[in-house]
Structures are given as structure tokens and as C-alpha cells.
């Protein structure tokens, strides 16, 4: 049997290993960390969002400019396929009101244990604390507890992750190695990251409070979403949705009352308030609540007295911020191996027999199951392509 090596034991790497083993090849998975799938397990701590149960065209649109590239891969391993795969590993699933799919137990660990058990039964050899450091001729080089080791496989799948959460293994350290071989890479940038805001002191009592019932506008994106006020800024799914246009320089605005038309808002604000303070007037006529009122005062103080001007601010409140959280604090990363560096099977044109998969590829997607779906789909695609390469004897 021809030997294949998969470097990286996250979801993409494990999926690739399974496909290669299923095709009859001996597979070694090399993982730099002491244990596998650390980011996968961390994501599952708040509920493992496997995929988004929605029509394929809606699913694929989430990948934006990478949609055409990923389309054939995700078409072969779409939301239904992800659910079937998890069910086949003994996981009961449920779909939430927004279409997000979770294991009933919510955790990632039962699924991972079943997955690793299946791979072990297929003969997949997982070696932890094996850090890939590059090539020596045709041989892959690894730093291991037993010293420097070499492997010379017939096919290699790189599933090395992005450049966020380095403590979990996604440190981007592989980028210089590939760049030195002539592989075209897009620079890493934070994706699905929180927003840094230098709050004034009056916001301190609201740290940890959720921001609900608002709209978010940035560039061409207008969405509904929630956020959390933290000591360092704003975080949560709503902010992650507008992360990309904010990163690209678009201004961010909050619609504090997205369900209230501007004319109705002006009419309410025009009611006589007598000696009532403006803050109390807003509370009475708009029911903004303490969190939304605080945001309005934070970003628009002093408030205009004219109802029309105030209404415009409430519907389009500019958010003063200091940019996105640092790269290593982002949930995921944009950038990585460019599409032009790969063939249709995700093989590097500059390195025949070497395939790439997962977050190390130059695509990004919002949270909500899209990230994991594409990691699984590209891992499966790269594993099958590597198996075809070996079967055709192109080694």
C-alpha cells in the first residue's frame, strides 16, 4: 500500500485521513500538539455548531467570493451530508430556530471520540507532538519527542489551520515554509473577530450585558444580530457578521430600533416632554432600555434636540472603534493558500502530490456552521484527490 501523510489533526485533516484510509492507503496523521482537534473541542464548549440546515444556494452564498471555488466541494458534502455523517457516528442532532445544527449533547467530545475510534479501526496512525518543519529533498521533516524524523509519502495533505488561536495549534507557522517554495499566499487577517472599543467610564456597569434587538450596517451588509458589551469592546455573532466589511474599511452603524420606521420614530420623539430629561423621555416613548440608551449616549453625546436629527442617529448610530481584535484572538482567519496556487483537486501546482485543505485555504465564512462545513468538505475533497493521485501512480 502506498503511504500518505496528513499534517494537522483538525476536522479537515481527520476527514482527509478517513478518505485516504477508505481508499486502502496506509495513513499517518502528524499533529504538532499533544492532542488532536483542540480548536474543534474549544468551539464545542459553547455548543458544537456542525452546519446550517438551509438550501444549498443559501449555504454556498455564505462563502462570498470563494463560493464558486468551494461550490463543487460543498455540493458533495453539504449540510445534509454533514448531518448524515455525524448521525452515522452515533450522534443525535437537533436543528435550532435559526437553522443551526447541533449534537443533542451540544459537546464536541463524544463526536470526536467516535470519529477517532473509527479512524483507528481503519488503521490510521495518529502521531501527536510531531511538528512539521518543512522538507529535506522529497522527505517531510518533523520535530518529535524522539528527535528529528523524516517521512517520504506518496501523497501529503496539509491541513494546518489558519493563524488564529495559536495556543490551540492554528499559528500560521507553516506560511513561510510554503512561501519559500513559491506557493502564492494571501496575507492573514482576522475574521469573525470582536471589535475594539475604548469605552468611557459610564459604560463600565454594562460590561457583560447583551445588546439585543438591533440592526447592524457595514458596507453592503445590513443584518440583524446580537452582541455583548465587553471591557474591550463589542463581541458576538452580530459583530462577526459585519467583520469583513469593517476589516476592509467600511464604517459600522447600529440601528437601535430596526422594527420602527423613521416616520413613527420622529412622531414619538416629537411628543411633549415638559421637564422630563431627554434620557427619560427616550425611555418612555421608545422603550430603548438601559443598554441601547447607553450606546446612544456613548456614540452620539451630546444628543441633538431636533426629533428628526435624533431619529436619524437612532436609525444609523456610528460606532467609534479601534478596529478588530488581534489576529490571534479571532475565531478564524482570512488569507492563506490562494486558489491560483492549487489545481481543481486542491493540489499545489508547485508541489505535485501535496494537497491543502481547511482553514489554511484562502476563504472565509461567518460563524453559524459554515466554517466547519467547509473544513469538512475541503478535507474530504483533498483526501479523495490524494487517493486518486496515489491510485493513478503519479508518484
Contact 302, 167 (CB under 8 A): no
Residue 191 CB coordination number (10 Å): 26
Listed in order, strand segments (DSSP E) in the chain are 3-7, 26-31, 51-52, 93-95, 100-103, 125-128, 131-136, 139-144, 147-151, 155-158, 185-191, 195-196, 210-218, 221-230, 233-235, 252-255, 317-318, 332-337, 354-356
Region class of 168: left (phi > 0), else alpha (psi between -120 and 50), else beta: alpha
The full set of domains in the chain, from first to last, is: 3-190+328-391 (3.50.50.60), 195-318 (no CATH)
Quote the CA–CA distance of 110 and 48 in Å, as a whole number. 11
Quick one: pLDDT band at residue 394, thresholds 50, 70, 90? low
Q: Calculate the alpha carbon distances from 30 to 2, 5, 48, 125, 148 in Å.
A: 17, 7, 24, 9, 13
pTM of the complete model beyond 0.95: no
- Based on its alpha-carbon atoms, the radius of gyration of the chain, rounded to whole angstroms, reads 24
Contact 197, 233 (CB under 8 A): yes
Each residue's pLDDT tens digit, 259-270: 999 999 999 998
Quote the CA–CA distance of 391 and 386 in Å, as a whole number. 9
List the grid coordinates of 238.
Answer: 452580530
Contact 30, 127 (CB under 8 A): yes
Each residue's pLDDT tens digit, 307-334: 999 999 999 999 999 999 999 999 999 9
Q: In the predicted model, is pLDDT for residue 15 greater than 70? A: yes
Dihedral over Cα of 319, 324, 330, 332: its sign: positive
Quote the CA–CA distance of 50 and 69 in Å, as a whole number. 21
pLDDT of residue 279: 76
Each residue's pLDDT tens digit, 298-309: 999 888 889 999
What three-state secondary structure class fits 94? strand
Strand partners, 51: 101
User: How are the residues of the chain apportioned to helix, strand and coil, as percentages rounded to the nearest 5?
Assistant: 40, 25, 35
Quote the CA–CA distance of 325 and 320 in Å, as a whole number. 14
Cβ neighbors of 263 (< 8 A, separation 6 or more) are: none
Q: How buried is residue 17: exposed, middle or buried, by Cβ count under 10 Å (0-12/13-18/19+)?
A: buried
Quick one: pLDDT band at residue 86, thresholds 50, 70, 90? very high
Residue 129 CB coordination number (10 Å): 15
Each residue's pLDDT tens digit, 182-196: 999 999 999 999 999
Alpha carbon 64 to chain centroid distance? Answer: 13
Each residue's pLDDT tens digit, 228-255: 999 999 999 899 999 999 999 999 999 9
Amino acid at each position: 500500500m502506498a503511504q500518505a501523510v496528513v499534517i494537522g489533526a483538525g476536522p479537515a485533516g481527520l476527514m482527509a485521513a478517513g478518505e485516504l484510509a477508505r481508499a486502502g492507503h496506509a495513513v499517518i496523521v502528524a499533529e504538532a500538539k499533544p492532542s488532536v482537534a483542540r480548536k474543534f473541542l474549544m468551539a464545542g464548549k459553547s455548543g458544537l455548531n456542525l452546519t446550517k440546515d438551509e438550501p444549498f444556494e443559501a449555504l454556498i452564498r455564505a462563502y462570498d467570493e470563494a463560493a464558486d471555488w468551494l461550490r463543487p466541494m460543498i455540493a458533495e458534502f453539504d449540510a445534509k451530508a454533514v448531518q448524515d455523517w455525524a448521525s452515522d457516528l452515533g450522534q443525535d442532532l437537533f436543528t435550532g430556530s435559526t437553522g443551526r445544527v447541533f449534537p443533542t449533547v451540544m459537546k464536541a467530545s463524544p463526536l470526536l471520540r467516535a470519529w477517532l475510534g473509527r479512524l483507528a479501526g481503519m488503521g490510521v496512525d495518529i502521531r501527536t507532538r510531531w511538528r512539521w518543519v518543512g522538507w529535506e529533498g522529497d522527505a517531510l521533516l518533523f520535530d518529535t519527542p524522539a528527535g528529528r524524523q523524516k517521512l517520504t509519502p506518496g501523497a501529503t495533505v496539509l491541513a494546518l489551520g489558519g493563524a488564529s488561536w495559536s495556543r490551540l495549534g492554528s499559528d500560521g507557522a507553516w506560511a513561510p515554509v510554503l512561501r519559500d517554495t513559491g506557493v502564492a499566499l494571501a496575507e492573514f487577517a482576522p475574521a469573525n473577530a470582536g471589535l475594539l472599543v475604548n469605552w468611557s467610564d459610564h459604560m463600565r456597569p454594562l460590561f457583560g450585558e447583551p445588546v439585543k434587538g438591533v440592526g447592524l450596517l457595514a458596507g453592503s451588509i445590513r443584518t440583524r444580530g446580537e452582541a455583548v458589551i465587553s471591557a474591550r469592546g463589542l463581541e458576538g455573532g452580530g459583530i462577526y457578521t459585519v467583520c469583513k466589511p469593517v476589516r476592509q474599511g467600511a464604517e459600522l452603524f447600529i440601528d437601535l430600533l430596526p422594527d420602527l420606521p423613521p416616520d413613527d420614530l420622529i412622531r414619538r420623539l416629537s411628543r411633549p416632554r415638559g421637564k422630563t430629561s431627554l434620557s427619560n423621555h427616550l425611555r418612555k416613548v421608545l422603550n430603548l432600555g438601559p443598554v441601547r440608551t447607553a450606546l446612544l449616549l456613548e456614540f452620539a453625546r451630546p444628543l441633538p434636540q431636533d426629533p428628526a436629527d435624533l431619529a436619524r442617529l437612532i436609525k444609523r448610530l456610528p460606532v467609534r472603534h479601534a478596529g478588530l481584535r488581534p489576529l490571534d484572538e479571532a475565531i478564524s482567519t482570512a488569507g492563506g493558500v490562494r486558489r491560483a496556487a492549487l489545481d481543481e483537486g486542491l493540489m499545489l501546482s508547485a508541489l505535485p502530490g501535496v494537497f491543502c485543505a481547511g482553514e489554511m485555504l484562502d476563504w472565509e465564512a461567518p460563524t453559524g456552521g459554515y466554517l466547519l462545513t467547509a473544513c469538512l468538505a475541503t478535507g474530504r475533497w483533498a483526501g479523495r484527490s490524494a487517493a486518486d493521485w496515489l491510485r493513478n501512480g503519479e508518484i
